Structure 1
């Protein structure tokens, strides 16, 4: 760690322990320079960092004073923006419910927006947030597997001192924490379920423009490789956000490339339910003709004609965790820590046991 960061941390601990109390004056730059045997520039950098984090306030010609953070807290906005790709369907209502429950308990107000997983809509939302008085942002990435032109807007929000926390996926170019499912492990678990039931001709249907789809595919590939099964590229089918609006346009491909497999893994329950409906129309039965595993363990996994075996997504717990992480970032004034939920498989009756 850089010397100025070590000094800032030492002073921050003294502030938190009330050795330096709110309103009190810190030792001068020259005194700190002598006390810690550091250069004047190092001391200045440390004090600037502490001021950026909200622990101290500099007064021209007077010195540096410990901020009265409780008094300042009372005068600050209580609004937190929650931005997801979608709002009113699938896993999102329960994620938002988890976020809202924790933030309300902590005295914050929640404003919700959605991007529709569209780059242009994300841009509009971020520009609007830049004009607002916010304490923090919880946001789901938009097409995170692709280069994103909106990263400068995120950096402008960071420069304003607004903590940002991602859910479900992240942009690796930004130094922001993420709360998500271990998607790669989820893909591995789904594939291992098929392998354990004796399936060898295994296909997959994955989303190519979201990071979750890429990571789930990675886990899927690893499981097949470790199980001694060769990936057959003609049995791997990809779709994007536009395709998901109308899987009917992919009907011929789905039947041709996936219908000949004994088992397939789908990106999520929504994808699986569409695929199973197409197969039903073509007389392909689940699990008699083909077995299906998926990810997210939503209501869709239980509502169809066949109960869908699916890797569990934490949903409401993920929202709660994200909210607590953001509150900690706001109050501690230090960067947050990423967290990944460990997945587990929920077995129903969509997988036929070929090993019997």
Structure 2
């Protein structure tokens, strides 16, 4: 019997929605993504999405795509109503799973408490009178938005920032110390004999990148070694130029490469392969991100600094629920430890 491919796509999306891997307000995978995933034509994908819209699971926004139907209410939460915790609108199909793991932990904690998770973002919460949440988890708020985050909290919506260190004492946060965790990894490699460790992906003005850069620098200083600033490559330099990294790797004899974020890893690995560098025989590569799934996909030995992302999401929900019950609760400011996953890296053994 011939398989109905539109129904197969529909069943897949329904499961994603019901299991909260696609959250209310979140965007469905694009037509092109679903076409590639299921090896089907666009009309087949559109038929599946049309059925979701007809049944009220999704709504189509011309020119923007299709979104999971949001649950909204204009009345404040009461014990009889389900508490709604907002979380930044993010790509939950990202292969590095940074936001996916955070949302998994947050969703599990919310469901255990009878609450629900809803996709939103800080500008929407500040500017739209229709998007109501009881609390907010901010994963993408950067330094320039800290004042706006404080404004939202003063308006009566408690929030917690993830992997940010705001300078405002009233803002709660749960974070990993990027500088310290990077220092530990680089220091360990230096102690084991590495000397030329490139820093790939430095970004001026980016809080998380700045912490990782400082950790790399401090490790060299702690070992009485000059900081090899000539081995630091800015993300903007190679983001739009595919020749920058291969040329850099050809010019320098390196012991190891430290990649500051998971999304920067593919161009690094592509560039190394392009010039014939073998991993780990010729070079060690370490990345600061939870790239377990990526490593399984490419079958390449890359070590990585793994952040406790699910624990962050869960702790954020637990704190916000307590804060909703007790507005005078002490502001949470928590630093969690990361772990180092070593994958055939001689300088980390």
TM-score, with structure 1 as normaliser: 0.67
- Give 1:127's aligned residue: 127
- Give 1:82's aligned residue: 87
Equivalent residues in 2 for 1:186-335, closer than 5 Å = 186-208=181-203, 209-239=205-235, 249-259=240-250, 260=252, 261-298=254-291, 299-334=293-328, 335=330
CA 1:142–1:165 in structure 2 vs 1: closer, same or farther (change >3 Å)?
closer
What is the number of equivalent residue pairs in this alignment? 267
Query: 1:185·1:343 contact (CA, 8 Å) conserved in 2?
Result: no
TM-score, with structure 2 as normaliser: 0.68
Alpha-carbon deviations, 1:187-217, whole Å to 9, x = none?
Answer: 1122123213311112101342432211111
Give distance in 2, aligned partners of 1:136 and 1:189: 35
Query: 1:199·1:263 contact (CA, 8 Å) conserved in 2?
Result: yes
Q: Considering only CA atoms, is the larger Rg found in Structure 1 or Structure 2?
A: 1
CA 1:139–1:235 in structure 2 vs 1: closer, same or farther (change >3 Å)?
same
**Does the alignment pair 1:100 with 2:129?**
no
**Does the alignment pair 1:347 with 2:335?**
no
| Cα offset, 1:333, TM superposition | 0.8
CA 1:294–1:317 in structure 2 vs 1: closer, same or farther (change >3 Å)?
same
List gaps (5 residues or longer) in structure 2. Answer: 1-76
List gaps (5 residues or longer) in structure 1. Answer: 1-71, 115-121
| Equivalent residue in structure 2 for 1:112, among 116, 119, 123 | 119
CA 1:182–1:157 in structure 2 vs 1: closer, same or farther (change >3 Å)?
same
Alpha-carbon deviations, 1:313-339, whole Å to 9, x = none?
Answer: 112112111111211221121242111
The 3-state SS of whatever aligns with 1:112 is strand
Query: 2:189·2:348 contact (CA, 8 Å) conserved in 1?
Result: no
Deviates more, 1:266-275 or 1:251-260: 251-260
- Provide the alpha-carbon RMSD of the alignment: 2.8
The 3-state SS of whatever aligns with 1:275 is helix
Query: 2:272·2:278 contact (CA, 8 Å) conserved in 1?
Result: yes
| Cα offset, 1:294, TM superposition | 1.3
CA 1:354–1:85 in structure 2 vs 1: closer, same or farther (change >3 Å)?
closer
Query: 1:140·1:167 contact (CA, 8 Å) conserved in 2?
Result: yes
